[in-house]
């Protein structure tokens, strides 16, 4: 090309534009070749360093202590194995997951095996979730993109006569139930169901899953199954949302994974705080437990910072103090490499530990309460005495400080071990314990039910003190008023009798208030109750907190029921009569109260009329011990005259100290005095033992300052006096005063059987 041609070429604007386009195209092609081929791998890895992730830093849950600083619920550091999608090919991923499975297995780690619900290897069979419903199983297969052909049977009530058919699992079929050992329950007759017991169907499912996950033929069936288990766990993982493969793994597992981190791509180890309970079975109904957050709760609380893998308080103080205990998680903004390993931390906000909760409980006293309650229930069940149907299996006891409302001990039997909820799925014993806890047939052995705040019991004769208070305050009687007990009395055509008279021991004759309380004379309180009237009695019962929630810091507290006109109108077409008042005046008819209400009621009597709000939380502290919140002592001074309270206290003192007192055999010769009241609540059904109810406080008597009040209820405990030894041991431990001779079972059998 000569010079003129060149000049002519550059004078043409079109040629110049085309030339620049070609140069640019060549440059772009060169750069693409450089990026994709020459330095492709290098640039790919470098690009990964620029990925920013926010990593959550877990906060340590606050500890729970008793009043003396004894740790009940604490934490330890555990290690979780997480995985994100590192974009491995199928074969590399399967190989890595098999190695992880075998590391977990070798080191005895608990790890997730959700797939076992659909297929088990030993025995080689369909899992319980698969067998539950053909329709649900087919839906699950479709959702997981698993294609398999099964043999079906016709569900006509005869497993052996059904016709077989082969259908693709993705067909939308109206499937049904079969017999012969399958667990399908939601199918209808004349529909086809998968033959879950056919080994060919099991093998077909196995091969279909193997194909779905592209598992190489070189693996044995056992190795293939292990890969399936792991693949199913990571079915929803991504590059940014890790899946927890195993929780609380051993240090050996941590070391092996970290040493070979070049092999385990996308796998990371994170610290986690593991809840630990120390003797929490002694206070299981108070402490409660934590569990992994469920989907419904997560959706409700995710805007408050909860994660899908977080734990949350489910019952007890763990639940009610959740906001204090939880703490605030921290966050790290990090750069990660191609294997999703952290290359550098860009920004970090540290986690803030949860606050500690200090309870009013005394764990030494709690231990006594739990152990003596359990032992005494067993003793009563085995007593050879009249009216015992040997059906005592449950009960509750509450001990309260009469001067501030602090709960010193709260026991409910039977109980459970909160630690079972912290065990992994591999802990078969713990999993069985959880199953038993929800089995009504095992309710006499293990139970989450807190009878102290959720159980309702007729108070029996323990209601008589408040009837006396009502009559004394309204001027119906004086402490010196005497009433004739002939052994029986009639109201509305019904005969009411005194227990002594029924047992052929005569009647009390002329009797005053203190003696009537000491001997638990029914006739006296029938007469006084009718003279006073149910409206006045109900007013005073309510003022003492009976039939009212106390506001204790526990979920599940109930109100109870006061026997009054309003309640009868709800359940009966008949009007209230004198017979109703007479029955209600001795704690029968409709009365039902919780042991906590009974404990607070007797505490209010003990301190002269200050009704404190019962509470379990003493104060809350930061991690460094600084008190951030202290429970305010709340009380209501009841408008009751000192002479009224003195009269009631004298009568209750006689219950445990006069020779004709119904609890004198239990509290005889002790170095302290007790004010008490026994109660026997009639059983609702024929063939059942009556309930035993007992309330008391100590020290009692002139010159004494009461410190502790106790309420005990034993379901089918026969008599209230049989529950009294439980209170005796608790008070003795609390006052640190031990009598020379411990209470024996023979003493219990010496208590007259007619004692109410």
The secondary structure of 545-599 as a DSSP string is: TTTS----SSTT----B--SHHHHHHH-SSPP-HHHHHHHTTT-TT-BB-HHHHH
Give 47's pLDDT tier (boundaries 50, 70, 90). Answer: low
Nearest to 109, CA basis, from 224, 230, 225, 253: 253
Give 338's pLDDT tier (boundaries 50, 70, 90). Answer: low
Which residue would you say has higher pLDDT here, 165 or 111? Answer: 111
Q: Alpha carbon of 686 to those of 51, 104, 129, 193, 458: distances in Å?
A: 74, 57, 43, 48, 17
Give 743's pLDDT tier (boundaries 50, 70, 90). Answer: very low
Half-sphere exposure of residue 279: CA atoms within 13 angstroms, side-chain side: 14
**Residue 591: what are its φ and ψ, rounded to 5°?**
-55, 130
pLDDT for 157: 45
> Which H or E run contains 395?
strand 394-401
Q: What is the widest separation between alpha-carbon atoms in the chain?
A: 147
Q: How many CB atoms lie within 10 A of CB 274?
A: 17
pLDDT digits (tens, 9 = 90+) for 511-554: 999 999 999 999 999 999 999 999 999 999 999 999 999 999 99
pLDDT for 166: 41
What is the phi-psi region of residue 589: left when phi exceeds 0, alpha when psi lies from -120 to 50, beta otherwise? left
Token couple for 506 = 């005569």
Least confident of 189-198, 317-326, 644-653: 189-198
Token couple for 718 = 């026969």
DSSP 461: G
pLDDT for 241: 73
305's CB contacts (< 8 A; 6+ apart) are 328, 329
474's CB contacts (< 8 A; 6+ apart) are 532, 536
pLDDT, averaged across the chain: 87
Is the pTM for the entire model greater than 0.85? no
Which residue would you say has higher pLDDT here, 547 or 25? Answer: 547
Which residue would you say has higher pLDDT here, 386 or 51? Answer: 386
To which residue do tokens 């081929």 refer?
37
Burial tier of 575 (Cβ tally within 10 Å: 0-12, 13-18, 19+): exposed
pLDDT for 220: 96
Query: Strand, coil or helix: what is 696?
Result: strand
Mean pLDDT calculated for residue range 330-346:
75
Least confident of 28-32, 66-70, 719-723: 28-32
pLDDT digits (tens, 9 = 90+) for 174-223: 333 333 334 444 444 457 899 999 999 999 999 999 999 999 999 999 99
Least confident of 162-176, 402-416, 682-696: 162-176
**How many Å apart are CA 422 and CA 311, to the nearest integer?**
10
DSSP 460: G
Least confident of 139-148, 184-193, 367-376, 573-582: 184-193
To which residue do tokens 């419903």 refer?
133
With pLDDT > 90 as the criterion, what percentage of the chain qualifies? 66
**How many Å apart are CA 101 and CA 688, to the nearest integer?**
55
Crossing angle, helix 464-473 and helix 534-543, to 10 degrees? 110
Nearest to 511, CA basis, from 472, 482, 471: 482
Give 250's pLDDT tier (boundaries 50, 70, 90). Answer: very high
To which residue do tokens 């489910």 refer?
314
DSSP 116: G
Contact, 635 vs 502, CB < 8 A? Answer: no
Give 173's pLDDT tier (boundaries 50, 70, 90). Answer: very low
pLDDT for 564: 98
Q: Alpha carbon of 301 to those of 61, 312, 548: distances in Å?
A: 17, 11, 31
Query: Strand, coil or helix: what is 735?
Result: helix
Half-sphere exposure of residue 744: CA atoms within 13 angstroms, side-chain side: 5
**How many Å apart are CA 329 and CA 54, to the nearest integer?**
12
* Helices and strands in the chain: count of H runs, count of E runs: 28, 28
Burial tier of 384 (Cβ tally within 10 Å: 0-12, 13-18, 19+): exposed
**How many Å apart are CA 537 and CA 560, to the nearest integer?**
16
Which residue would you say has higher pLDDT here, 542 or 752? Answer: 542
pLDDT for 158: 39
Name the β-bridge partners of 494: 491
Query: Strand, coil or helix: what is 466?
Result: helix
Contact, 153 vs 198, CB < 8 A? Answer: no
Q: Alpha carbon of 477 to those of 92, 527, 601: distances in Å?
A: 91, 11, 22
Nearest to 725, CA basis, from 284, 378, 360, 280: 378
pLDDT for 513: 96
Q: What sign does the CA torsion over 513, 519, 524, 525 have?
A: positive
Give 305's pLDDT tier (boundaries 50, 70, 90). Answer: confident
**How many Å apart are CA 305 and CA 59, to the nearest integer?**
11
Burial tier of 41 (Cβ tally within 10 Å: 0-12, 13-18, 19+): exposed
Token couple for 67 = 């009043």
Token couple for 173 = 């079929």
pLDDT exceeds cutoff 90 at 168: no
DSSP 1: -
**How many Å apart are CA 133 and CA 193, to the nearest integer?**
8
Token couple for 730 = 């608790």
pLDDT digits (tens, 9 = 90+) for 615-627: 999 999 999 999 9
17's CB contacts (< 8 A; 6+ apart) are none
Of how many residues is the chain composed? 756
**How many Å apart are CA 245 and CA 235, to the nearest integer?**
11
178's CB contacts (< 8 A; 6+ apart) are 153, 155, 159, 162, 184, 187, 193, 195, 196
**How many Å apart are CA 523 and CA 483, to the nearest integer?**
9
Least confident of 77-86, 119-128, 502-511: 502-511
**Residue 12: what are its φ and ψ, rounded to 5°?**
-85, 115
């Amino acid at each position: 090309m000569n010079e003129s041609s060149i000049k002519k070429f550059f004078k043409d604007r079109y040629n110049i534009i085309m030339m620049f386009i070609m140069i640019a195209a060549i440059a772009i092609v060169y750069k693409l070749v450089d990026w994709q081929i020459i330095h492709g791998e290098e640039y790919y890895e470098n690009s990964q360093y620029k990925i920013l992730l926010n990593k959550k830093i877990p906060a340590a849950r606050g500890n729970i202590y008793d009043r003396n600083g004894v740790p009940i619920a604490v934490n330890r550091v555990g290690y979780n194995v997480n995985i994100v999608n590192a974009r491995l090919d199928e074969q590399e991923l399967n190989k890595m997951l098999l190695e992880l499975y075998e590391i977990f297995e070798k080191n005895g780690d608990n790890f997730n095996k959700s797939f076992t619900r659909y297929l088990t290897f030993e025995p080689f069979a369909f899992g319980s979730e698969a067998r539950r419903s053909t329709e649900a199983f087919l839906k699950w297969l479709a959702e997981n993109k698993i294609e398999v052909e099964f043999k079906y049977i016709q569900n006509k009530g005869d497993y052996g006569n059904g016709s077989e058919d082969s259908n693709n699992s993705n067909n939308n079929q109206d499937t049904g139930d079969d017999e012969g050992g399958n667990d399908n329950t939601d199918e209808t007759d004349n529909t086809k169901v998968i033959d879950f017991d056919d080994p060919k169907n099991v093998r077909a499912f196995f091969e279909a899953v193997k194909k779905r996950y592209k598992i190489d033929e070189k693996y044995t069936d056992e190795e293939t199954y292990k890969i399936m288990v792991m693949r199913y766990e990571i079915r929803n993982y991504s590059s940014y949302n890790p899946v927890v493969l195993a929780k609380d793994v051993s240090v050996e597992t941590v070391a092996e994974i970290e040493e070979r981190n070049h092999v385990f791509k996308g796998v990371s180890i994170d610290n986690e705080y593991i809840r630990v309970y120390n003797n929490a079975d002694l206070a299981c109904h108070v402490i409660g437990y934590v569990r992994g957050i469920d989907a419904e709760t997560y959706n409700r609380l995710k805007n408050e910072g909860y994660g899908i893998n977080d734990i949350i308080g489910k019952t007890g103080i763990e639940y009610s103090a959740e906001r204090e205990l939880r703490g605030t998680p921290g966050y790290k903004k990090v750069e990660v490499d191609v294997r999703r390993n952290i290359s550098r931390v860009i920004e970090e906000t540290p986690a803030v530990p949860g606050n500690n909760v200090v309870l009013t409980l005394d764990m030494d006293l709690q231990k006594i309460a739990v152990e003596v309650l359990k032992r005494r229930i067993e003793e009563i069940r085995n007593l050879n005495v009249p009216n015992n149907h040997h059906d005592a299996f449950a009960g509750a006891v509450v001990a309260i400080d009469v001067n501030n409302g602090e709960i010193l001990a709260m026991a409910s039997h039977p109980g459970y071990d909160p630690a079972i909820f912290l065990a992994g799925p591999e802990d078969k014993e713990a999993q069985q314990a959880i199953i038993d806890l929800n089995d009504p047939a095992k309710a006499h052995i293990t139970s989450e039910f807190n009878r102290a705040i959720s159980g309702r019991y007729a108070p029996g004769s323990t209601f008589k003190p408040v009837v006396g208070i009502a009559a004394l305050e309204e001027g119906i009687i004086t402490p010196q008023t005497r009433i004739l007990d002939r052994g029986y009395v009639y109201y509305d055509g019904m005969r009411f009798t005194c227990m002594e008279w029924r047992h052929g021991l005569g009647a009390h004759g002329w009797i005053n208030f203190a003696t009537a309380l000491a001997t638990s004379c029914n006739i006296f309180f029938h007469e006084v109750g009718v003279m006073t009237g149910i409206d006045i009695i109900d007013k005073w019962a309510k003022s003492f907190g009976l039939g009212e929630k106390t506001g204790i810091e526990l979920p599940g507290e109930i109100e109870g029921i006061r026997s009054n006109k309003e309640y009868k109108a709800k359940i009966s077409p008949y009007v209230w009569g004198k017979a109703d008042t007479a029955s209600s005046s001795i704690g029968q008819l409709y009365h039902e109260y919780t042991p906590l209400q009974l404990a607070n009621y007797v505490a209010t009597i003990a301190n002269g009329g200050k009704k404190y709000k019962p509470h379990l939380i003493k104060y809350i502290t930061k991690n460094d011990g600084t008190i951030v919140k202290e429970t305010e002592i709340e009380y209501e001074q009841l408008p009751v005259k000192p002479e009224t309270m003195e009269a009631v206290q004298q009568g209750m003192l006689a219950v445990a100290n006069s020779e004709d007192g119904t609890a004198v055999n239990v509290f005889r010769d002790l170095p302290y005095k007790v004010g008490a009241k026994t109660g026997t609540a009639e059983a609702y059904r024929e063939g059942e033992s009556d309930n035993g109810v007992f309330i008391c406080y100590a020290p009692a008597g002139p010159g004494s300052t009461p410190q502790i009040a106790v309420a005990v209820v034993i379901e089918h405990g026969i008599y209230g006096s049989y529950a009294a030894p439980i209170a005796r041991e608790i008070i003795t431990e609390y006052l640190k005063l031990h009598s020379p001779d411990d209470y024996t079972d023979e003493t219990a059998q010496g208590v007259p059987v007619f004692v109410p």
